[in-house]
Amino acid sequence: MTPSTIYLCDRPADPRWELGSAAASTRRVLLIGWSRSVQLTEAGVPPIVSRVISQGLVSAGHVAFLSNPTGAHATAACEYQSLAGDSWPMRLGQWLHVTPRSAGWVITRDALTAVTLFDCDAFDWRLKAQVALLVRSPMVLRDLGWRVVRDLLGDAWTDAATNLAAVGVEAVLRPGVDGDVAALWTASPATEVTLRDAMAQAAVQFGAVLEECSEARLFDLMCPRAES
């Protein structure tokens, strides 16, 4: 069986990925994609890809992602911290076309818990309504409320991520167009190297291959031109 290939593209610039300011940014943003042969569902992240990403993230530190208190993540391998409240929940819910009554950060170092970030109904990855953070300590999340979430889900998300580096956010993962790609911002070259290495090890563990790829080739692999 041919191993599944996961592609890494450095500093994506094509606006068709729908990554907002990342397309014009010189900051460290890694685009994670895959070929259509790996895609088993209509949209979103294939299981093997989500496992590689999740394992890579938890290997590097605490992972926090959006969910509600009764989400599929609810296990002993995580803690739940409600978002700092302000006037934004209802506005955010309207913007995302969802109406979460309550929400918070799921914090974990368990890969099986982290992988549920790609399948959370209240904050749907495919609708670009999910974001995950790699943090030095869960204490970092105490003051990260709805305003931060809004900014991280917006077009200027790399600016928001850069501002959070000072308080201990080391990486931000969020979806691109239709949830069919993942964008990974890192606060430092060292963190990027750590995550690349961790994902490479996870890929070997799960029988996948990581491959560096140009942006043009990745677009052709994921969005092949119709045959004439």
* CA max distance for the chain: 56
d(CA 109, CA 57): 8
In the chain, domain spans: 4-222
pLDDT in the model for residue 227: 42
Instruction: Please answer whether residues 66 and 103 qualify as being in contact, where contact means their C-beta atoms are separated by less than 8 angstroms.
Output: yes
Dump pLDDT digits (tens) for 85-99: 654 554 555 455 554
Q: List the chain pLDDT tens, one digit each, 228 residues.
A: 456 899 999 999 888 899 987 665 657 899 999 876 555 555 678 999 999 999 999 999 999 999 887 665 556 678 888 886 654 554 555 455 554 557 889 999 999 999 999 998 889 999 999 999 999 899 989 888 888 999 999 999 999 999 999 999 999 999 999 999 999 999 999 999 999 999 999 999 999 999 999 999 998 887 755 443
